[in-house]
Every structure is written in structure tokens, then in C-alpha cells.
């Protein structure tokens, strides 16, 4: 007599199938492109196949980088040598896409921020080492300093390849932006070591307004008046990579949880949202919160999955909410064998933040592998060869019981609201980075 073994809820074959479709079959999924739309259609199909009839796509406007030609040369003595470079999505090109040349000035940030004054870099090209301006005031001063261009050298990623990234759309619209590029860390190292003084460069970009989409699917609950539990990820990528970790890994988590929960009898609604244009600073998430006027009466908690598949790494759980929420999350996960480094913080760099701004607490799961976050971050190395299915299975197996517990309860053992000091910080940060919450 043979017995049928129960089906494991998160088989590797299903996870890899979804991963391969997003990354190998579709590939790079820049916001507003046909490739992103293919990913959206695939996600919709998977939610419908999981039996979630209440599935929809919601469009919103975004910047869509169609083409970019970036050429940078550094002068070594009498010779000019070409250097790999890419534009930051959302940044303008050089005027008319023409070549500009100028003397090289260095900013080591944030300690050199006082040097950023009106007209200080007129006719010069600025190499900015460290973080780009994190405050609107510093950004405005950098624009007013009138550099020909800014070259960002990310000190978190000391490698030989370029990193792709984006700029804050609201700041570009409201304050303007100089042409802004990135080059490999090791190239900037060589410039400083060899005393490079002059650069010439051009950045010709075609970047019209496009349309991205959020995918929203919801499982009903027996008490629909209760605030929903919302699970989120993003399906778009930066340029030049297939985004296997950032963030196809989060999307496959959503799809796997949808399949695992499709027959669950829960009191609360469970909503799954795959956002577009996260890589432009959570444009899709911000649009969703704004258009639906999301507040704590409708959403009680957001659980966000973003970059969760590093083979070698550390589990991070970023907590926006009361200390009791952090304790609850740590205990629930530890009971399933998952230990996390939990940190209470308000951070705007993933899709949970627009919900925080609206007063809603969140848990953000990420798996880091490097002091700067992830060594393959926004590069050609974010591929299926550099992810692992085992961490994803581990996370899903630990999170699913917590979701069932939360979905089955009318009252949670933590406040479904942000503490006042966190809410003040979230609102202030949101106004600066996104503008008004309501239009």
C-alpha cells in the first residue's frame, strides 16, 4: 500500500518556472516598456490561475527611458580614453545630446556639501563620490551650482562595472536636474590616482512619459470591514539587467503565497500588489496610495518583499510600526526557524514607504550580502546565476504561518498604526521626496 505524500506548498519547480519566465524569457523590465507589460500580463495570468478572480491592472504615468547613448572620455596626459558610463533614469541628457567638456571637480559627500554653492561649478564636470543629495535643499543647491554634468561614483559598490540607477522624479519636475551619469568605481579610482583633470562627455536620451501598471489581486475575507493585509513586491527592473533578485524574487513570493492561500478561510482580506516603476522611487506604490486614498481604516499592515534571494546573505526585516509589531514578527518567524536582523526604521527606498506616509505600518524583507546591500545591485550581475531558490523557500515557509495568523484575527497584538514620531518623519520625508500626498 502506498501513501500519497502531501504536496509541499512552495516547490522549487514552480518558483524556478516563474523566475525563468520573468528573467530568461522576458528579461529587462524597464518601466513603461513592452517587456514590462509582458511581465504584467504574466503576473495577471498567474493570479487568475491561482483562482483569484478579483485581479486587475491599474495604469499610471511614469518616465520611460526608450534610448540612451552615453559617451565619456577622460584625458590622461595628451590622450583621451573612453570610460564605461550610463545615464541615471529620469536625468536629462546634455543639451541637444551634444558633447560637453570641462575641468573635473570632486565632491566627497556628504562632508563637501558646504562647497555646493550657486555657480560654484559653472563650466565644470562634477565627480560626486558617495551618496547623491538626500535632501531637497542640497539637491537645489547642486542644480544652482550649474555643473555641465554630474558623474556619480557610488562608494557602496567598489567594482569594475557600472551601476544603473534612477533619480527622484518629483525633484526633477520641481527643481530641475543636471545631466547625471554613473561610471565604475574603479574608473573613478584611476582618475583620482592618476590626477585626471579633464573630461568630455555626451548623454543623448529619449525619455518620454510612458505608462506603467500595478497588478492588484485580492482574496476575500469573511469580515471585509476589517483593514486588509497587503503583500507587495515590484516587477520592474533597472536598465541593463534582468532583475532576478531585484525584484523578480519578490514577485515569485507573491505568486507562491497566492497559490498557498487561495483556499484559506480568513477573516481579513489579503491583497497582493505587484507594483511598477519602483526603481523610479516607488512611483507605482505612491500612485496606488494616492488614487485609492489608502489609510489605516482600509489597510492594517503591509508586508513587502524586495530582493530576497541571495545564496549567501543576512535576513533583514525593516519595521515601520510599534515595538510590539517588531516583537511579534521576530517571534513568529523564529518559531518557523527563520532568524532575522530586525530594525525599526522609516526608509523611503521601497514600496512600503508610501503606505507608511499614510500612517500604515509595514514589514520589509530583504536579504543582504554586502555592507552596501547587495554586491550585484542594479548591475549586469543581477541574474538567475546569482540567486538561489532555498532562501526564498525558507522565507515563504516562515512568513506563510504569520500571514495565516494575521489574516485569521480580528484584533492584532500590536497597534495597526505608526507611532507619532515615525508618522511625523514619514510625512516629512514623503513631502520632500514625493510632493503632496493628495492632488
Paired sense of beta strands 124-129 and 149-153, if any: parallel
CA distances from 81 to 15, 122, 153, 156, 187 (A): 44, 24, 18, 25, 11
Report the pLDDT value the prediction gives residue 439, as an integer from 0 to 100. Answer: 54
Strands (E), 235-277: 270-275
Secondary structure of residue 59 in the 3-state scheme: strand
Instruction: Among 152, 173, 206, give the residue marking a domain's end.
Output: 206
Average pLDDT taken over every residue of the chain: 95
Report the pLDDT value the prediction gives residue 2, as an integer from 0 to 100. Answer: 40
The Cα 186–Cα 324 span in angstroms is 44
Are 179 and 321 part of one and the same domain? no
Give the domain CATH number at 91: 3.50.30.30
Report the pLDDT value the prediction gives residue 7, as an integer from 0 to 100. Answer: 53
Are 56 and 108 part of one and the same domain? no
Question: Which of 171, 234, 92, 214 lies closest to 434, judged by CA?
Answer: 171
What's the pTM? 0.95
Name the grid cell of 72.
565619456
Domain assignment present for 1: no
The range of the structural domain enclosing residue 424 comes to 12-64+209-434
Domain assignment present for 374: yes
Report the pLDDT value the prediction gives residue 8, as an integer from 0 to 100. Answer: 66
Domain assignment present for 351: yes
Are 399 and 385 part of one and the same domain? yes
Domain assignment present for 3: no
Are 35 and 180 part of one and the same domain? no
Using the predicted structure, report yes or no on whether residue 125 has a pLDDT greater than 80: yes
Report the pLDDT value the prediction gives residue 436, as an integer from 0 to 100. Answer: 86
* Burial class for 392, CB neighbours closer than 10 Å (0-12, 13-18, 19+): buried
β partners of residue 128: 107, 152
Are 219 and 190 part of one and the same domain? no
Instruction: Among 206, 222, 251, give the residue marking a domain's end.
Output: 206
Report the pLDDT value the prediction gives residue 1, as an integer from 0 to 100. Answer: 42
Using the predicted structure, report yes or no on whether residue 287 has a pLDDT greater than 70: yes
The Cα 439–Cα 435 span in angstroms is 9
Are 418 and 327 part of one and the same domain? yes
Domain assignment present for 344: yes
Using the predicted structure, report yes or no on whether residue 9 has a pLDDT greater than 90: no
Q: How confident is the model at residue 14 (pLDDT cuts 50, 70, 90)?
A: very high
User: What one-character-per-residue DSSP string does 1-51 give?
Assistant: ---PPPPPSS-HHHHHHHHHIIIIII----TTSHHHHHHHHHHHHHHHHTT
The Cα 33–Cα 247 span in angstroms is 17
Instruction: Among 171, 206, 241, give the residue marking a domain's end.
Output: 206
The Cα 335–Cα 296 span in angstroms is 28
pLDDT per residue over 400-418, tens digit each? 999 999 999 999 999 999 9
Number of structural domains, the chain? 2
Question: Which of 392, 240, 384 lies closest to 313, judged by CA?
Answer: 392
Q: How confident is the model at residue 352 (pLDDT cuts 50, 70, 90)?
A: very high
Are 74 and 128 part of one and the same domain? yes
Domain assignment present for 5: no
Report the pLDDT value the prediction gives residue 372, as an integer from 0 to 100. Answer: 84
CA distances from 14 to 19, 360, 398, 405 (A): 9, 32, 18, 25
Using the predicted structure, report yes or no on whether residue 424 has a pLDDT greater than 50: yes
Name the grid cell of 165.
540607477
Using the predicted structure, report yes or no on whether residue 189 has a pLDDT greater than 80: yes
Give the domain CATH number at 232: 3.40.630.10
In the sheet with 124-129, reading across from the earlier edge strand, the strands are 79-83, 67-76, 198-206, 100-108, 124-129, 149-153, 180-182, 86-87
Are 149 and 227 part of one and the same domain? no
Domain assignment present for 2: no
Place of cell 530568461: 24
β partners of residue 367: 315
Q: How confident is the model at residue 144 (pLDDT cuts 50, 70, 90)?
A: very high
Are 238 and 142 part of one and the same domain? no
Are 367 and 298 part of one and the same domain? yes
Are 241 and 182 part of one and the same domain? no
Using the predicted structure, report yes or no on whether residue 314 has a pLDDT greater than 90: yes
How far does Cα 388 stand from its chain's mean position? 20
Strands (E), 281-373: 299-305, 314-320, 341-344, 362-368
Q: Say if CB 341 and CB 329 are below 8 A apart.
A: no
pLDDT per residue over 196-238, tens digit each? 999 999 999 999 999 999 999 999 999 999 999 999 999 999 9
Domain assignment present for 178: yes
pLDDT per residue over 73-102, tens digit each? 999 988 999 999 999 999 999 999 999 999
Using the predicted structure, report yes or no on whether residue 3 has a pLDDT greater than 50: no
Name the grid cell of 157.
559598490
pLDDT per residue over 259-282, tens digit each? 999 999 999 999 999 999 999 999
The Cα 399–Cα 381 span in angstroms is 28
Are 176 and 312 part of one and the same domain? no
Amino acid at each position: 500500500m502506498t501513501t500519497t505524500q502531501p504536496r509541499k506548498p512552495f516547490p522549487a519547480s514552480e518558483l524556478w518556472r516563474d523566475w525563468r519566465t520573468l528573467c530568461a524569457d522576458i528579461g529587462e523590465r524597464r518601466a513603461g516598456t513592452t517587456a514590462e507589460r509582458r511581465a504584467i500580463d504574466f503576473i495577471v495570468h498567474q493570479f487568475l490561475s491561482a483562482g483569484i478572480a478579483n485581479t486587475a491592472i491599474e495604469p499610471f504615468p511614469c518616465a520611460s527611458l526608450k534610448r540612451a547613448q552615453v559617451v565619456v572620455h577622460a584625458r590622461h596626459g595628451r590622450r583621451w580614453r573612453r570610460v564605461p558610463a550610463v545615464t541615471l533614469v529620469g536625468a536629462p541628457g546634455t543639451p541637444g545630446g551634444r558633447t560637453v567638456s570641462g575641468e573635473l571637480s570632486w565632491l566627497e559627500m556628504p562632508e563637501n556639501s558646504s562647497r555646493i554653492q550657486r555657480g560654484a561649478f559653472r563650466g565644470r564636470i562634477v565627480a560626486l563620490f558617495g551618496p547623491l543629495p538626500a535632501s531637497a535643499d542640497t539637491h537645489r543647491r547642486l542644480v544652482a551650482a550649474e555643473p555641465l554634468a554630474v558623474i556619480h561614483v557610488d562608494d557602496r559598490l567598489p567594482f569594475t562595472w557600472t551601476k544603473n540607477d534612477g533619480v527622484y522624479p518629483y525633484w526633477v519636475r520641481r527643481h530641475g536636474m543636471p545631466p547625471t551619469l554613473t561610471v565604475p568605481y574603479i574608473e573613478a579610482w584611476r582618475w583620482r590616482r592618476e590626477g585626471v583633470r579633464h573630461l568630455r562627455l555626451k548623454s543623448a536620451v529619449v525619455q518620454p512619459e510612458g505608462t506603467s501598471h500595478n497588478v492588484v489581486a485580492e482574496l476575500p475575507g469573511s469580515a471585509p470591514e476589517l483593514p486588509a493585509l497587503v503583500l507587495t513586491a515590484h516587477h520592474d527592473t533597472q536598465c541593463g539587467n534582468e532583475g532576478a533578485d531585484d525584484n523578480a524574487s519578490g514577485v515569485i513570493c507573491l505568486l507562491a503565497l497566492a497559490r498557498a492561500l487561495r483556499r484559506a478561510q480568513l477573516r481579513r482580506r489579503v491583497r497582493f500588489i505587484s507594483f511598477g516603476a519602483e526603481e523610479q522611487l516607488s512611483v507605482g506604490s505612491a500612485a496606488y496610495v494616492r488614487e485609492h486614498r489608502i489609510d489605516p481604516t482600509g489597510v492594517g499592515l503591509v508586508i513587502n518583499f524586495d530582493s530576497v534571494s541571495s545564496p549567501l546573505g543576512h535576513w533583514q526585516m525593516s519595521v515601520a510600526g510599534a515595538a510590539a509589531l517588531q516583537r511579534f514578527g521576530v517571534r513568529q518567524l523564529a518559531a518557523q526557524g527563520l532568524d532575522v536582523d530586525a530594525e525599526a526604521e522609516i526608509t523611503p527606498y521601497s514600496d512600503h514607504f508610501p503606505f507608511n506616509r499614510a500612517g500604515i505600518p509595514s514589514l520589509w524583507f530583504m536579504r543582504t550580502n554586502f555592507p552596501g546591500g547587495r554586491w550585484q545591485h542594479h548591475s549586469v550581475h543581477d541574474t538567475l546565476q546569482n540567486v538561489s531558490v532555498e532562501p526564498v523557500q525558507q522565507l515563504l515557509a516562515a512568513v506563510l504561518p504569520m500571514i495565516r495568523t494575521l489574516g485569521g484575527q480580528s484584533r492584532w497584538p500590536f497597534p495597526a498604526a505608526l507611532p507619532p514620531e515615525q508618522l511625523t518623519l514619514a510625512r516629512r520625508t514623503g513631502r520632500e521626496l514625493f510632493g503632496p500626498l493628495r492632488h
